[in-house]
Amino acid sequence: MTRARLDAYCGLYCGACLIYRCTQDGHLATAAATLGRPEEGLACDGCRSSRVTLACRDCWYRDCPAKRGFTSCAECPEMPCDSLKSLQTRMPHLVEIVDNLRALRADGSALWCAGQAKRWTCPSCGKQTCWYETTCAACGAAVPSGYVMSAQNRGAGSPQQVCS
């Protein structure tokens, strides 16, 4: 089975998404409980796959590039558009999307994804981590690239320790 590319259309790295990681690691029930969402429809193999979490199935950022004949927002001459600039302000992990798209444009998907995979790997044990993990759930080591979730952005639970 060929895995879908993990560079999302909008410039996110799907490999560090809590829902993606928990789907791949077999901990979807934990992700559902942490996020306060039902497990049904939550599973995701990345936004370029055929199995996408319910919340992302009708994503404008997936549809817009395709309608314009692009495989990513990185290919669009209007990037960064006002919609991407607005998206950047919604959650801490979204802040980097425009810079990510510029890097995707310059480096290509394979090189960029390899760099992101390294970035979101625990330096102590090699386990893949999620955006909001500040401590590796497998070995307890500090994860230097994890974002801190503010109280206003936190849902039902804290995603920092769910991808074990």
Q: Over 80: is that where the pLDDT of 128 sits?
A: yes
Calculate mean pLDDT across residues 30-44: 92
Q: Over 80: is that where the pLDDT of 163 sits?
A: no
Query: What is the tens place of the pLDDT at every residue in 45-95?
Result: 999 999 999 878 888 898 999 999 999 999 999 999 999 999 988 888 889
Residue 148, pLDDT score: 67
Residue 149, pLDDT score: 56
Query: What is the tens place of the pLDDT at every residue in 130-155?
Result: 988 889 989 999 988 777 655 444 44
Residue 160, pLDDT score: 40
Cβ atoms of 53 and 43 closer than 8 Å: yes
This prediction has a pTM of 0.85
CA atoms within 13 A on the CB side of 75: 15
Q: Over 50: is that where the pLDDT of 8 sits?
A: yes
Q: How far is CA 131 from CA 12, 16, 73, 75, 80, in A?
A: 10, 5, 21, 25, 22
User: Domain map of the chain by residue range?
Assistant: 14-120
Give a three-class secondary structure readout of 106-140: HHCHHHHHHHHHHHCECCCCCCECCCCCCECCCCC
Residue 80, pLDDT score: 94
Q: Return the minimum-mean-pLDDT range out of 3-12, 101-110, 140-149, 152-161.
A: 152-161
Calculate mean pLDDT across residues 153-163: 41
Distance between CA atoms of 8 and 72, rounded to whole angstroms?
8
- Please count the other Cβ atoms lying within 10 Å of the Cβ belonging to residue 14: 23
Q: Which residues of 53-75 are buried (b: 16+ CB within 10 A; e: fewer)?
A: beebeeeebbebbeeeeeebbbe
Q: Return the minimum-mean-pLDDT range out of 16-25, 47-56, 106-115.
A: 47-56
